Amino acid sequence: MKNIINYIKNILLGYLIFTTFIYAQLSMPRISPAAKVSQTIGLSRIDIEYSRPSVKGREIWGKLVPWGLAQNSIGTQTEIPWRVGANENTTISFMHDAFINGEKIYAGKYGFHIIPKQDEDWIIIFSKDNSSWGSFFYDQKNDALRINVKPKEDAFVEWLEFSFDEITENSCVVELNWEKIEISFVVQFDVHKIVIDSLKQQLKGLLGFNWQSWNQAAAYCLQINDYLDLAEDWCKTSINLNENANNRNLLGYISFAQGKKDEAVKIFEENTIKFSNNWNVYDSFGEILNKIGDKSLAKRNYEKALQLAPKAQKARIEAIINSL
């Protein structure tokens, strides 16, 4: 019995070794090399992973890449999606929820397909199935979003290429170029909401023990002139941790931005008493007084600021005094 067991083991081991040699593959260069491009917008990032085929003198559109509609045997049109590249599924990832040509798409990684059409708008598909091989196993039921785009003729590009253009603080244009065709779409993020959500989480950690962190978060809200009630709360938390001219001044600016002008004037006036040796509290009080039209009192505060200000600030303050 023992000999029989050993014999079976040897047969199985031999089979395992044989199949390993048969099915193992060496790592070799791909004809269509892999590529990855990324773009950061605010705190968000877009990643595109794909393989880059080349033209090689071939006719691409309508030939190598067939037009995306065909008639089956019963005369019904069937969609033929293209994987937008070679080899595995081309994928596009969004770190946060985004809008594509104004249509919402949730954060995640998507399979990227195109249905090219002759003399018509093309269809771009973002599929929740991001791991299939190419478009061979594409199933419309997995679509997360479809958009229509108009292809346009552009300069010749030998190797299929994704790129980013027209970058702003909250958006960019994603472009695909191959042969003489370009297609593009706009990706936009709600950057301010994403930043605010991130700040809320960060302030729950170790950074929440520092007055500077709360002050910096409140200053961001003032900078974008939004979430001002939240900015006021954050600024007051900063003051409770360590009251100083910096966060008290910021509270005055936030109150003014909220439309509470009398309260803002009171805060700035109190700051000149509490922090009488700080040139910036007089400079800020002068700025607010000038905005509400009290030029006489504004001038007096600017003059006090000029006395205390560092050399780098004096020319600016003198110019303001001369203009009052």
DSSP 20-52: HHHH-------SS-EEEEEEEETTEEEEEEEE-
For the cut 70, the answer to whether the pLDDT of residue 225 exceeds it is yes
Pairing of strands 91-94, 108-115: antiparallel
For the cut 50, the answer to whether the pLDDT of residue 141 exceeds it is yes
The sign of the torsion formed by the CA atoms of 107, 110, 114, 115 equals: negative
Beta strand extents in the chain (DSSP E only) = 34-41, 44-51, 69-71, 77-79, 91-94, 98-100, 103-105, 108-115, 122-127, 143-149, 152-165, 171-188
CB atoms within 10 A of CB 257: 16
For the cut 50, the answer to whether the pLDDT of residue 273 exceeds it is yes
Beta strand extents in 73-121 (DSSP E only) = 77-79, 91-94, 98-100, 103-105, 108-115
Angle at 260 between CA 255 and CA 265, to 5 degrees: 75
Structure tokens at 77: 């049109």
Q: What is the pLDDT of residue 30?
A: 74
For the chain, which residues make up each domain, given as ranges?
34-189, 192-323
Identify whether the C-beta of residue 40 lies closer than 8 Å to the C-beta of residue 168: no
Output 298 or 132, whichever has higher pLDDT.
Answer: 298
Across the strands, what pairs with 126? 112, 145
Between helices 295-308 and 279-292, what is the axis angle to 10°? Answer: 160
Provide mean pLDDT across the span 19-47: 80
For the cut 70, the answer to whether the pLDDT of residue 210 exceeds it is yes
- Percent of the chain clearing pLDDT 90 (strictly above): 81
Query: How many helices and strands, by DSSP H and E, does the chain display?
Result: 9, 12
Angle at 49 between CA 46 and CA 54, to 5 degrees: 130
Q: Nearest-CA neighbor of 111 among 157, 155, 142?
A: 142
pLDDT, tens digit, for every residue of 72-117? 555 566 788 999 998 888 999 999 999 999 999 999 999 999 999 9
- Percent of the chain clearing pLDDT 70 (strictly above): 89
CB atoms within 10 A of CB 157: 17
The one-letter amino acid at 214: W
For the cut 60, the answer to whether the pLDDT of residue 6 exceeds it is no
- Confidence label for 4 from pLDDT (cuts 50, 70 and 90): low
According to CATH, the topology of domain 192-323 is 1.25.40
